[in-house]
Amino acid sequence: TGKRAFIAGVADDNGYGWAIAKSLAAAGAEILLGTWVPALNIFETSLRRGKFDESRVLPDGSLMEIAKVYALDAVFDSPEDVPEDIKTNKRYAGSSNWTVKEIAECVKEDFGSIDILVHSLANGPEVTKPLLETSRKGYLAAISASSYSYVSLLKHFLPIINPGGSSISLTYIASERIIPGYGGGMSSAKAALESDTRVLAFEAGRKHKVRVNTISAGPLRSRAAKAIGFIDMMIDYSMANAPLQKELSAEEVGNTAAFLASPLASAITGAVIYVDNGLNAMGVGI
Ligand code: NAI
């Protein structure tokens, strides 16, 4: 309660970012969102027209309030990094201050500080290709959007995260076990994200008393996951093989994020927390 959260990677009400926002709001946090520039217009319009009102309902019956939505493209750190074709692209030209450094500055100006930073975004242009068929460009794009984006966000926000604050990202078991179909270097990107979670926990902990954890989430039918193409199969597989044979709800991941951001988790940092109905613990399907 009384905390402020910035959640990067919300562009509709289907993904983990939205569910995390709701759980944090239910716990009394003020919510700021970072939305991918090309998706911003439709997200804000839908929000304004009440399209998300049903999914904004919190357990106490009130509607989740969003204090501000910031345009964000997490593959660019500062305006100097933005190539001409993006600068002049009409979906980008309508917004401003959407590089990571600029957003951190704007949030500081608008609100002063935050307590919770959430990274709930990923992108791998060649995700449907096996690793052996992935180009260098595709691989590096996956790492840039899905791993370095987190390093950059934390780096730029850290000075305005209050001591005792908490940072959370979302990862997937394909980082450590073979998940055919999760290609394009996305498995590599998640491995980097998990390793960085440990190193960043050390650096942010020593420097700013900020905790850094990642949630290894089970399969959810989000927009991003549907683009990969095998999400229904992964949900069925989990239902058949996990210790808990139920569909995973985004809310279960949201609630874990709220726990990790709270003082209840004050000694947890550098951790990969599995929220997957226990599937990660299985050795064989049965
Ligand atoms: P989602 O589609 O709700 O979220 C992904 C978001 O990333 C979208 O809002 C998209 O606009 C945004 N995005 C993409 N490129 C961006 C960029 N350059 N700058 C800013 N935003 C950008 O999908 P989902 O699945 O909820 O993804 C959230 C996180 O959860 C991701 O890290 C994903 O890898 C992770 N995850 C998802 C699982 C699933 O089954 N859905 C399983 C385990 C982890």
Q: Write the residue with the smallest CA distance to atom 40 of ligand 1.
A: 219
Which residue carries 């550098």 as its tokens? 270
Using a pLDDT cut of 90, give the percent of the chain over it.
Answer: 96
Global confidence as pTM:
0.98
Q: Write the residue with the smallest CA distance to atom 28 of ligand 1.
A: 120
Q: Tens digits of per-residue pLDDT, 185-231?
A: 999 999 999 999 999 999 999 999 999 999 999 999 999 999 998 89
The predicted pLDDT at position 285 comes to 82
Cα 121 to middle of ligand 1, angstroms:
4
Q: Write the residue with the smallest CA distance to atom 24 of ligand 1.
A: 15
Residue 55 has pLDDT above 90, yes or no: yes
Q: Is 36 in the pocket of ligand 1 (CB under 6 A)?
A: yes
Residue 1 has pLDDT above 80, yes or no: no
Cβ atoms of 217 and 16 within 8 Å: the answer is: yes
Cα 64 to middle of ligand 1, angstroms:
21
Cα 90 to middle of ligand 1, angstroms:
23
Q: pLDDT averaged over the chain?
A: 97
Which atom of ligand 1 is found nearest the CA of 215?
44
pLDDT band at 182 (very low <50, low <70, confident <90, very high): very high
Cα 135 to middle of ligand 1, angstroms:
21
Cβ atoms of 7 and 212 within 8 Å: the answer is: no
Known catalytic residues are: 147, 190
The predicted pLDDT at position 154 comes to 98
Residue 143 has pLDDT above 70, yes or no: yes
Residue 286 has pLDDT above 90, yes or no: no
